[in-house]
Structure 1
Amino acid sequence: MASVRSKVARCVAALAAGALLAGCGPGDSGASNLRFGAIYLDSQGFYAGVKKGIETAAAKDSHLKLLGNNAQGDAAKESSFMSTMVASKVDAIITSAVSATASVPSVAAASKAGIPVICYNTCINDADAKKYVWGYVLSDPYVFGKRLGEQAGKYFTGQKITNPKIAVLNCDFVEVCKERKRGFKDGLKETVPGAQYVADQEGAVVDKATPVAENIITANPNLDAFYAVAGGGTLAGVKAVTTRNRVGKTVVFGSDMTVDIAKALVDGRILKAEIDVPAQTVGKLSYEAARKAANGEKNTSFVIPVQPILYTADDKATNEKWLTEHADGIP
């Protein structure tokens, strides 16, 4: 009777979180199954890729079930999901933390309950992460930004533009984005020290960022380039350049590959370079880390590195190959 009550409580908790936990069906005791929780920061391209990477890796393990939720960038939703996962006693939690500070209590609660937490892409602040997080799957955000900045420098140098006017579409609400931006500026400064940053506004979600980018062009009619720190900003920059008739005059340097971004690279008139962390690889490594943590293994290296990939408009063959390999639309 106690085991039945435990199973009922676990299933009720899963349903309350808005996800069906496999193993709650009739006739399935779930006794031999590991159960992992996975939280995605939002539903944009990168996180869809991470989700696919996690699910593909987990599908190879018949003894593992997943409970997944989308926090939608909301710390309150994230906290609710984490609490549900802790209450249902999952064996590990994979998460991209909404906030370096606001996410600390829920991550700490999971750790204190004996549930290992694996971060990917974003995490809580370093000091607390070292206490409460088993491992962090991460592409160094500074290196990520610096490589793109260096490529932007090559472009401007080739175009003989010594004092380019640049607008940043940022995602500064996430610490990783601040590091990306710092890296970009340092990388560009190495070859184009005269670069001028005429605007720096939030632009992480394409629908919200597009009018922001359009207004920036209106205020800066001689804008040379947008630097988009996230994928939504990349597409917003491309759209704004098109709608404001700046094709051939204003270019975009972007972050995070999606199908639409790859198509813009193949076109090549606006988007000149894109830096990306392979999302499905991040998902796969996050799952593998969770599996090790759930088995009680120690992590010999807190950061589990993922190397970024730089794509340029000049390399159409590689960009077309990317589209072929991601025909399902998931990066």
Structure 2
Amino acid sequence: MKLIIKAALLAAAALSSVTTASAQEDLKVGAIYMDAQGFYAGVRKGIQDGAEEAGRNLVIVETNAQGDVSKESSFIDSLISADVQAIIVSPVSADGSYRAIRRAHDAGIPVVCYNTCLNEQDMKEYISAYAVGDPYDFGHKLGDAAADYFIAEGNDAPKIAVLNCEFVEVCVTRRKGFEDALMAKVPDAEIVANQEGAILDKAVSVASTMLTSNPEIDAFFGEAGGATLGAARAVRSQGKEGEVVVFGGDMTTEIAQELADFTVIKGVVDISGQGLGKLALAQAIKSIDGTPPEGIEVPYDIDLYKSSEDGKGWLEAHADGIP
């Protein structure tokens, strides 16, 4: 029996009704997604597909934290009460999420992070496994691609604006990798603005304001999917196609379409949401079985897309639109 239970089914009566013929082999795993943007839709599908392929009687109890630490905390408490055997989570805050995760750990429930996690000390203490694409490498690959673009364009002092998601530590590390790679090849490049803009609507607004306030901007770096697409939309809305370009993270159908067009978006780095979801679930099952990974972190590949053909190829490979 493979079941995916929505957050609405968290009521105790609903949870208590979940039964199977062979209880000793059943697994119940909680899954928390940070938000509903494209990447996390991919993670959700990866977890669901992984559940189907696991060869176990597996129940997934899931919800969306909506980027809210208090909602995340409340759901973790519900999962503890529901006697899940593991929890998969992309913590909203490296420092603010640890209390709820510690409660799960103290209850004997292994916690598996994916994409984001706690600070290093708390991660060693409370986390069983961390499925992650190296955030420094994520930024570095993109910074290297951006540097090559500017060199080809003969721009040896580009001015770049950053739309960030730095309320999570991985995004700070992404920017560090981006800047290191860019400055190594184009030492006179300059970051002229850096503001939070992870959600699409906010990203469009912030990027538009940046373009108005800093008309000399040559490019945007979007640290996550909403930022990447928001920057591209802002460039188009102000008629700056051909003047301002975008480099960013996280593939979605719309971002791939922009890359395929190759007018505004010139490079995208991506960690497959589906692949990372499968990896996180596999680590949860291993942790339940008493064989967590050594060293906690379990790496996942990072892909770089930097041509129109790359964008078209991604669209063909993801006809369902799920990254």
TM band (smaller chain): over 0.9
Q: Which residue of 2 is the match for residue 195 of structure 1?
A: 189
AA matched with 2:258: A
Secondary structure of the corresponding residue to residue 299 of structure 1: coil
1:275 maps to 2:269: yes
TM-score by length of 1: 0.91
Whether contact under 8 Å (2:33, 2:65) holds in the other structure is yes
1:330 maps to 2:311: no
TM-score by length of 2: 0.94
- Output the CA distance in 2 between the equivalents of 1:79 and 1:269: 42
1:121 maps to 2:115: yes
AA matched with 1:319: G
Compute the displacement of 1:88 (Å).
1.0
AA matched with 2:166: D
- Output the CA distance in 1 between the equivalents of 2:269 and 2:13: 33
- Output the CA distance in 2 between the equivalents of 1:156 and 1:264: 19
- Output the CA distance in 2 between the equivalents of 1:200 and 1:74: 23
Compute the displacement of 1:320 (Å).
1.5
Compute the displacement of 1:29 (Å).
6.6
Compute the displacement of 1:115 (Å).
0.6
Q: Deviation per CA, 1:226-278: give whole Å up to 9, x if none.
A: 01101001001110110101000000001010000000000000000000111
AA matched with 2:317: E
Q: Which residue of 2 is the match for residue 287 of structure 1?
A: 281
- Output the CA distance in 1 between the equivalents of 2:185 and 2:14: 53
1:142 maps to 2:136: yes
- Output the CA distance in 1 between the equivalents of 2:247 and 2:167: 20
Whether contact under 8 Å (2:283, 2:292) holds in the other structure is no
Alpha carbon RMSD of aligned pairs, Å?
Answer: 1.9
Residues 268-277 or 56-65, more deviating:
56-65
AA matched with 1:174: V
Whether contact under 8 Å (2:129, 2:292) holds in the other structure is no
Within 5 A, what are the aligned runs for 1:199-214? 199-214=193-208
Q: Which residue of 1 is the match for residue 34 of structure 2?
A: 41
Q: Which residue of 1 is the match for residue 152 of structure 2?
A: 158
- Output the CA distance in 1 between the equivalents of 2:11 and 2:311: 38
Whether contact under 8 Å (1:19, 1:69) holds in the other structure is no
Q: Deviation per CA, 1:161-191: give whole Å up to 9, x if none.
A: 0111110001110100000001100010011
Whether contact under 8 Å (1:228, 1:252) holds in the other structure is yes
Whether contact under 8 Å (1:210, 1:240) holds in the other structure is yes
Secondary structure of the corresponding residue to residue 246 of structure 1: coil
Return closer, same or farther for 1:283/1:299 CA change in 2, 3 Å cut-off: same
AA matched with 2:223: V
AA matched with 2:290: G
Secondary structure of the corresponding residue to residue 185 of structure 2: coil
Q: Which residue of 1 is the match for residue 44 of structure 2?
A: 51
- Output the CA distance in 2 between the equivalents of 1:34 and 1:28: 10
Compute the displacement of 1:99 (Å).
0.7
Secondary structure of the corresponding residue to residue 190 of structure 1: helix
Unaligned runs of 5+ residues in structure 1 are 1-10
AA matched with 2:32: I
Whether contact under 8 Å (1:275, 1:308) holds in the other structure is yes
List structure 1 runs of 4+ shifted beyond 3 angstroms.
13-21, 27-30
Whether contact under 8 Å (1:46, 1:256) holds in the other structure is yes
Compute the displacement of 1:16 (Å).
4.2
Of the candidates 162, 180, 183, which is equivalent to residue 186 of structure 1? 180
Q: Which residue of 2 is the match for residue 107 of structure 1?
A: 101
- Output the CA distance in 1 between the equivalents of 2:81 and 2:68: 20
Return closer, same or farther for 1:19/1:211 CA change in 2, 3 Å cut-off: farther
Compute the displacement of 1:317 (Å).
3.0
Whether contact under 8 Å (1:14, 1:67) holds in the other structure is no
- Output the CA distance in 2 between the equivalents of 1:78 and 1:208: 22
Secondary structure of the corresponding residue to residue 137 of structure 1: strand
- Output the CA distance in 2 between the equivalents of 1:124 and 1:298: 17
Whether contact under 8 Å (1:97, 1:124) holds in the other structure is yes
- Output the CA distance in 2 between the equivalents of 1:70 and 1:18: 19
Unaligned runs of 5+ residues in structure 2 are none
